[in-house]
Amino acid sequence: MTMSRLLDLDLRTGRSVIDRYLDNGYAHVRGMSSRFAGAVSAWLLVHQTEEGVRGDVVEIGTFEGRYFIALALALADDEKALGIDSFDWPSERTLDNFRKNCATHGARLDRIDAWKTNASTLTAEALRDRVGAALIRFFHIDGDHSPEPLLHDLSLATAVLHPKGLICLDDMLHPAYPFLVATVRDYLEAHPDMRVMAIIDREDIIGAAKFLLCRADAVPLYENALMKRYPQRHFTLGGDALGHHCVVLTPQPRLAVVD
């Protein structure tokens, strides 16, 4: 029998297919993103659908599909998910494992495209050719965590992003990559229309924090909805994101006690 650790009630997305995966599948698929981040991200896709934002999903750094499957299960009809990875780490079995995991956990293979390539060599044109006419409403970047590749992945995401879409950056503020946020700062300075809309805090050293970026004019679509949806996870002080206030969600919010 599969062991399950039930998702806290307030983290449920309300879509049984996603919640079943978060309960029974997520921890069994090898990967790194936290279940907390998986739940919030899948809910954001549900929210986008309810708000009429349509588009596809892309992830750079798909590995064996842990986080990707949560996103794929949240797709609306006729939408697709593209997973980009060299699929050669830790072995050449990774792509097969990814496909098996998608099938096992109900992510429809006819709506999934696995692109075995080095993301750093891709051009925006090549990515546009691959995704076709679709705009990308959620783009997760979790590939090479060094400055130039991250900047490159961010430029790919920006080129195909839906005007109301989200770019999700993994492993922000991770002790193993302490200065990677400097690259995000460079990107934000070069793209003054983009904001850090929210931060999904870490669960532990492996399930690290994610930044959610979107265009400034798309922020109102998400920020109040996130605070209303996750009152028990809301760090009410928020974050100072280069002069803009951003939502901070954390598994166990608390404030320092000062007498």
Ligand X SMILES: C[S@@+](CC[C@H](N)C(=O)[O-])C[C@H]1O[C@@H](n2cnc3c(N)ncnc32)[C@H](O)[C@@H]1O
- Give the interface with ligand X as residue ranges (CB under 6 A): 31-33, 61-63, 66-67, 84-86, 89, 118-120, 142-144, 149
User: Minimum distance from CB of 244 to ligand X (Å)?
Assistant: 27
User: Minimum distance from CB of 159 to ligand X (Å)?
Assistant: 16
- Closest residue to ligand X: CB criterion: 31
User: Minimum distance from CB of 228 to ligand X (Å)?
Assistant: 26
User: Minimum distance from CB of 90 to ligand X (Å)?
Assistant: 9
Instruction: CB nearer to ligand X: give 84 or 127.
Output: 84
> Are β-strands 194-200 and 209-215 bridged in parallel, bridged antiparallel, or unpaired?
antiparallel
Instruction: CB nearer to ligand X: give 60 or 161.
Output: 60
User: Minimum distance from CB of 57 to ligand X (Å)?
Assistant: 12
Region class of 14: left (phi > 0), else alpha (psi between -120 and 50), else beta: left
Instruction: Return the bridge partners of 198, or none.
Output: 212, 247
Instruction: CB nearer to ligand X: give 85 or 223.
Output: 85
Instruction: CB nearer to ligand X: give 59 or 223.
Output: 59
Long-range contact set of residues 192-197: C-beta below 8 Å, sequence gap at least 24? 193/217, 194/158, 194/167, 195/219, 195/241, 195/244, 195/246, 196/239, 196/241, 196/242, 196/244, 196/246, 197/166, 197/222, 197/223, 197/246, 197/247
Instruction: CB nearer to ligand X: give 32 or 181.
Output: 32
